[in-house]
Structure 1
Amino acid sequence: MVTSIILINAQKSRINTIAEQLQSFPEISEVYSVSGKLDLIAIVRVATNDDLALLVTKKMVDIEGIEKTETMLAFKAYSRHDLESMFSLGM
């Protein structure tokens, strides 16, 4: 499984709409509105890097109001929660 964090700058008037659109994608497990230099953060879990590329270059590119993104790949999770078991059902 590939986990990534997508940092998003958006048009201020469209932040809520964009967040709702993003959370409708099955690849995106969580969307957070945040303070600071960013507007939204999306947590993505996909099977392959190709799936991530399709999400970013084919699906997200069509969302009106996204001004800039930065995608970071997660190498290892340090968590009290067993994330792998939470997201491995049916895979």
Structure 2
Amino acid sequence: MITAIVLIHVEADAIPSAAQAIADLDGVGEVYSCAGDVDLIATVRVAAHEDLADLIPGRIGKVPGVLDTVTHIAFRSYSAAETESAFEIGVEGD
């Protein structure tokens, strides 16, 4: 599974509708509206790199109001839960 984080610039008056349209696309996990340099941030999970080409420029980029996207492909995931479970390996409960 390939995970990507997509930074999305959107016309100001189209942010809510664009966010929902993007969230409804297959392969998109979450869409966050945010303050800062971009308007929306989406998490994307697909099976192959070719699927990114279909999803991001092919579908996200064509959502009305979307002006530009920048994609960051994730290499590895870290979370507090994963770190804690790694320390529990080999520890037997009472």
Q: Who is 2:63 aligned against?
A: 63
| TM superposition score normalised by structure 1 | 0.84
Q: Which residue of 2 aligns with 1:35?
A: 35
Q: Give me the identity figure in percent.
A: 38
Partner Cα distance (1:12, 1:22) in 2: 15
**Gapped regions of structure 1 (runs ≥ 5):** 83-91
Cα RMSD (Å) of the superposition?
1.1
Q: Which runs of 5+ in 2 are unaligned?
A: 83-94
1:28-70 deviation per Cα after TM superposition (whole angstroms, max 9, x unaligned)? 0000001111100000001010111100122123211111110
What TM-score comes out, normalization by structure 2 length?
0.82
> How many equivalent pairs are there?
82
Paired residue for 1:88? Answer: none
Q: Which residue identity lines up with residue 20 of structure 2 in the other structure?
A: E
